[in-house]
Amino acid sequence: MARSRSRSFITTEKPTTYDEDQFALPNLNSNWVYYKGAWLVHIILIICVKILFSSVPGVSSETSWTLTNLSYMLGSFVMFHWVKGIPFDFNSGAYDGLTLWEQIDNGAQFTPAKKYLTALPIGLFLLSTHYTHYDAITFLVNFTFLLVVLIAKLPQLHKVRLFGINQLEVE
Amino acid sequence: METTYPSLSELFVFLNTTLTQISIYYSHIPGSGILIKYIKNSHQDDPFRTILELLLVFFAIIYLFTNKYRTVNKLIELTPQEVEELVDEWQPEPLVPQLSDDDIKEFDKIPIINGPQGSRVKLINGKSLLNISSFDFLGLLSYESTKEKTIKTLREYGVGSCGPPGFYGTIDVHTEFERKISEFLGTEDTILYSQGFSTINSAIPSFCKRGDIIVADEGCNFSIQKGLQISRSIIKWYKHNNMEDLERVLRKIKDEDIETGRRLTRRFIVSEGLFANYGDITPLPKLIELKKKFKYRLILDESLSFGTLGKRGTGLTDYFDIDPNDVDMIVGSMCYSLGSSGGFCSGSFEITEHQRISGPAYCYSASLPAMLAVAATESLKLLKQNPGLPLALKYNTALFKQLLNNIKYLLLNGSQDSPVIHLRIDEEIVRVGDISDKEKCLQDVVDEATNNGILLTRAKYNRSQELFNIEPSIRICINASFTKKEIEKVASVIKNAAAKVLRNRVH
């Protein structure tokens, strides 16, 4: 049965009859998140992006920090909270309705990987405010983007879709 | 009682000294200067921002120190006492379950053949019977040349292949069979499976996953049903062999697509060429027209139609004179007409190559024993050399149907050219009860026929697992090697047996 897009403010991904499929095989799509090397890559990428933006002539320290912040927040949001399912046919579509963040540790909350990935954007934001003199608007832009990423990571929003955005259509 | 309150100035002095004391202690902590400097730097004369940042730090600290918990499959904590109780309560089921009275009756009725399988068999009590229940339609089982070749292969290659096809299990005889069958069918490539039953229920899930849509015929056999179930796709059923209903289902899906704007997933139509449970032929030209119109792929189970239908015996595409490449996947079995074992899936190179790494039965099952592959190749060769075989089968089928045309008490189901015939009780004439009563009646007919020299069988199902209710029936498989006289004998014995058993149950 096809489900028409819900009009309510908050909807929850309903459990499917084949949820046990999620435990039939390891989830190769989310396993890499636990690797310490992958943790390091986040930092390396942030540094690279910062250097890239700083090296553009005429870009102030505020702009380069803001751009770094924005690219990390946007990139991680798309990767962890927007794209759903698995790009490979490993689990017969058992994870079709779940974002990567929901797939990590099979949905367990406050695991080391999730703690690290939550602390990282906060650290990045604090670092950027320390080294710059944001005016009110730039500060607000940076802060809003951080807030969006943090809210998406909250355990209360596990499998929750706001305004029916990004909901799975097929049951 | 009177209390003396300290004066305000005294309080300030106390607070001041305490704060000074704390800051002195604090400056002794190593690294404390950095934090003070950081806060001073970050403050930037905006207390609101500092508060926001402090809140963020608090949030991070709380998040970092919260304990892990699971959201799914919460484990149940049991005390050792509860574990002990559960262990004590557990009663193991017997390894071999007790037979019920019905089971015992059923098993007693199964005839035991002494000697090789074929169109004419000998029972252990020495009785010779005409076997009209064997799927060996063309009589290819009893060719001496095939037997000799098979024994030679057994001596050369041994019994098993000792490995899945992807891991040292594939040998020259397998690839040779794949090549020959592609040549014979006129398709691009073929993949060989080691079991006929698991061919289609491996081919379907290797292409479909959750979210894909499969439209299937309600009359599909058990193997297809299992394949559909394993695929986890959305299954839509259309009424058995009803093309109008198929079109209705396809149109409904299309309307839903437009209405919901859902993402486009893989779409398949699954049907059987010659239905094992009904003995009728699917109208392939209409099916292909609809598949092209609605942009679906077609999976056709030709297990029974392969070797039996068409001028050359290549199955339904030959029968309707349709290009085999119009059918995306032709699934066949070597258990029936080819008198061997195993199954195959034929189609484009991409279709077979995909299954070689994602077909469960291909990847996780040992490959077909060499001798069975050789037996199938030999049978295929015989089928090519004797183009009269499918014709003889067609002739025998037509003759048998003509003779049984005026049968009383039983209904003759199925398409005109189908060598698989299901005889069902005519409830307008005969008074019968539920399914088990019907089965009992039919079993009596079968027993009566066996007494008169014809080996018949009821169609047997695992009814607790079948998705749709199938009426009990006697399944007849016409054999090309029967003479005209033998066909006449079979027809008259069945007529007499039905009359004898069912006469006293007439309304």
* For residues A64-77, average pLDDT: 93
Contact B211 A92 (CB under 8 A): no
- For residue A137, the tally of other CB atoms under 10 A from its CB is 8
Can you give the pLDDT at residue B308?
Answer: 93
Residue pair B225/B272 in contact by the 8 Å Cβ criterion:
no
Is A150 part of the contact surface with chain B (CB cutoff 8 Å)?
yes
Contacts of A18 in chain B (CB under 8 A): 210, 232
Residues B439 and B458 sit within 8 Å (Cβ to Cβ)? yes
DSSP state of A22: G
Average pLDDT over residues B91-111: 88
What per-residue confidence (pLDDT) applies to B44? 64
Q: Do residues B478 and B304 touch, judged by C-beta distance below 8 A?
A: no
Please count the other Cβ atoms lying within 10 Å of the Cβ belonging to residue B198. 21
CA distance B294 to chain A (A): 19
Q: How many domains does chain B have?
A: 2
In whole angstroms, give the CA distance from residue B173 to residue A12: 55
B chain contacts of residue A95, beta-carbon cutoff 8 Å: none
By residue range, what is the domain housing residue B273?
143-385
Contact B232 A125 (CB under 8 A): no
Whether A19 and chain B come into contact, CB under 8 Å, resolves to yes
- Among B385, B404, B426, the domain boundary falls at B385
Q: Are both B124 and B150 inside the same structural domain?
A: no
* Residue B377: pLDDT band with limits 50, 70, 90: very high
What ipTM did this prediction achieve? Answer: 0.85
Task: Tell me the pLDDT band of B60, cut-offs 50, 70 and 90.
Answer: very high
The answer to whether position B311 is within a domain reads yes
Share of chain B above pLDDT 70, in %: 96
The amino acid at residue B4 is: T
What is the average pLDDT across A7-36? 73
Q: Residue B10: its pLDDT value, please?
A: 84
B67 CA: distance to closest CA in chain A (Å): 6
User: Residue range B22-50: average pLDDT?
Assistant: 74
Q: Which among A21, A27, A62, A115 is the top mutation candidate for probing chain B, defined by the most B β-carbons within 10 Å of its own β-carbon?
A: A115
Contact between B473 and B423 under an 8 Å Cβ cutoff? The reply is yes
In percent, the amount of chain B with pLDDT more than 90 equals 65
Please give the pLDDT value at position A22. 76
Compute the residue count for chain A: 171
Contacts of residue A103, defined as CB under 8 A and 6 or more positions apart, other chains included, come to A27, A29, A30, A86, A95
Strands B457-458 and B189-193: unpaired
Of A4, A115, A125, the CB nearest to B63: A115
B241 and B321 part of one domain: yes
Which has the minimum average pLDDT: B11-15, B176-180, B463-467? Answer: B11-15
- Half-sphere exposure in the Cβ direction for B246 (13 Å, CA): 27
- 3-class SS string, B87-122: HHHCCCCCCCCCCCHHHHHHHHHCCCECCCCCCEEE
Nearest beta carbon to residue B210 from set A2, A94, A133: A94
What's the rounded mean pLDDT across residues A31-45?
Answer: 91
Q: Which of B45, B46, B51, B56 to mutate to test the interface with A (most CBs of A within 10 A)?
A: B56
| Bridge partners, residue B214, by sequence | B235, B268
DSSP 3-state helix, strand, coil percentages of chain A (rounded to 5)? Answer: 60, 5, 35
For residues A147 and A140, what is the distance between their CA atoms, to the nearest angstrom? 10
Give the nearest chain A residue to B263 (CA atoms). Answer: A169
What 3 state SS string does A75-119 have? HHHHHHHHCECCCCCCCCCCCCCCEHHHHHHHHCECCHHHHHHHH
Q: What is the mean pLDDT of residues A112-135?
A: 89
Q: Looking at the complex, does the CB of residue A47 fall below 8 Å from at least one CB of chain B?
A: no
Closest partner CB to A18 (pick from B52, B72, B232): B232
Using the predicted structure, report yes or no on whether residue B61 has a pLDDT greater than 50. Answer: yes
Contact A12, A161 (CB under 8 A): yes
Domain boundary residue among B361, B385, B409?
B385
Residue type, B370: A
**Vertex A97: Cα angle to A93 and A98 (nearest 5):** 105
Report the C-alpha dihedral over residues B337, B342, B343, B344, rounded to 10 degrees: -110
Percent composition of chain B: helix, strand, coil (DSSP 3-state, to 5): 50, 15, 40
Tokens of B407: 């049968």
Q: Distance, in angstroms, between B120 CA and closest chain A CA?
A: 47
Residue B108 lies in a domain: yes
- Check whether residue B149 and residue B244 sit in a common domain: yes
pLDDT of residue A48: 96
B72 occurs within a structural domain: no
How far does B52 lie from chain A, in Å, by closest CA?
Answer: 9
CA distance B346 to B329: 6
| B500 & B357 share domain | no
State the Cα–Cα distance between residues B253 and B213, nearest whole angstrom.
9
The beta strands (E) that lie in B171-310 are given as 189-193, 213-217, 234-238, 267-272, 297-301
Chain A contacts of B256, Cβ < 8 Å?
2
Amino acid at B330: I
Partner-chain contact A122 B59, CB within 8 Å: yes
Q: What percent of chain A has pLDDT over 70?
A: 87
Q: What value does the mean pLDDT take over residues B342-357?
A: 94
Whose CA is closest to B331, among B320, B319, B343? B343
SS (H, E, C) B403-414: HCCCCCCEEECC
Asked if residue B323 and residue B188 are part of one domain, the reply reads yes
For the segment B428-446, the average pLDDT, to the nearest whole number, is: 89
CA distance A76 to chain B (A): 18
Rounded to 5 degrees, φ, ψ at B492 are -70, -35
pLDDT at residue number A169:
55
Same structural domain, B228 and B335: yes
Name the DSSP letter for residue A34: G
Determine the Cα–Cα distance for residues B227 and B156; give it in Å rounded to an integer.
36
CATH classification at residue B475: 3.90.1150.10
Q: Output the average pLDDT for chain B.
A: 90
Is B425 inside a domain boundary?
yes
Residues B350 and B374 in one domain: yes
pLDDT level of residue B497 (50, 70, 90 thresholds): very high
Contact residues, chain A, for B260 at CB < 8 Å: 2-5, 169
A96 to chain B: which residues are within 8 Å by CB?
A: 210-211
For residue B93, is it within any domain? no
Using the predicted structure, report yes or no on whether residue B2 has a pLDDT greater than 60. no
- Residues in chain B, how many? 507
B228 CA: distance to closest CA in chain A (Å): 13
Chain A: residue whose CA lies nearest to B53 = A126
Does the distance separating the beta carbons of A169 and B261 come in below 8 Å? yes
Query: d(Cα B56, Cα A14) in Å, to the nearest integer?
Result: 32
Contact between B172 and B226 (Cβ < 8 Å): no
Q: How far apart, in whole angstroms, are the C-alpha atoms of residue B373 and residue B360?
A: 20
Burial class (CB in 10 A: 0-12, 13-18, 19+), B506: exposed
Is the same domain home to B109 and B175?
no
Which residue among A21, A93, A129 places its CB closest to the CB of B42?
A129
With a cut of 70, say whether residue A8 has pLDDT above it: no
Which class for B239: exposed (0-12), middle (13-18), buried (19 or more C-beta within 10 A)? middle
Laid out side by side, the sheet with B128-131 consists of B120-122, B128-131, B454-455
**End position of a domain, from candidates B334, B355, B385:** B385
Provide the 10 A C-beta neighbour count for residue B164: 17
Alpha-carbon span B434 to B457, nearest angstrom: 20
> Do B194 and B297 sit in the same domain of this protein?
yes
Residue B337 vs residues B333, B383, B454: alpha-carbon distances, Å? 8, 9, 21
Kindly state whether residues B381 and B391 are assigned to the same domain.
Answer: no
Cross-chain Cβ contact A110/B69 below 8 Å: yes
- To the nearest whole angstrom, how far is the Cα of B255 from the nearest Cα of chain A? 11
User: Is A34 an 8 Å CB contact of chain B?
Assistant: no
Q: What CATH number did the domain enclosing B340 receive? A: 3.40.640.10
How far apart are the C-alpha atoms of B145 and B340, rounded to whole Å? Answer: 14
**CB-based contact A111 B42, cutoff 8 Å:** no
On whether both B434 and B445 belong to a single domain, the answer is yes
Q: Which two tokens stand for residue B242?
A: 């009803």
Q: What is the CA radius of gyration of chain B?
A: 36
Q: Is the pLDDT of residue A19 over 70?
A: no
- Angstroms from B204 CA to nearest CA on chain A: 12
Q: Say yes or no for a CB contact (<8 Å) between A110 and B70.
A: no
Q: Is residue B36 part of a domain?
A: no
Q: What is the CA angle B490-B491-B496, rounded to 5? A: 100
Q: Is B266 helix (H, G, I), strand (E, B) or coil?
A: coil
Q: How far from B211 is each of B17, B227, B262, B296, B404, CA to CA, in Å?
A: 71, 15, 10, 15, 47
Q: Do A89 and B209 touch (CB under 8 A)?
A: yes
Whether A129 sits inside 8 A of B209 (CB atoms) is: no
Nearest-angstrom CA–CA distance, B446 and B427 = 18
CB atoms within 10 A of CB B462: 7
Kindly give the pairing relationship between strand B474-477 and strand B343-347: unpaired
Closest in B56, B67, B232 to A125, CB measured: B56
From the list A111, A129, A143, which residue is nearest B68 (CB)?
Answer: A111
One domain, residues B188 and B327: yes
Higher pLDDT, residue B381 or A135: B381
Structural domain includes residue B349: yes
Using a CB-CB distance cutoff of 8 angstroms, which residues of chain B are in contact with residue A19? 72
Residues of A in contact with B265 (CB under 8 A): 170
Question: How far is A120 from A128, CA to CA, in rounded Å?
Answer: 12
Q: Is residue B158 part of a domain?
A: yes
The partner residues of B6 in beta bridges, in order of sequence, read none
Binary contact (A110, B63; C-beta < 8 A) = yes
Both structure tokens of B371: 């001798």
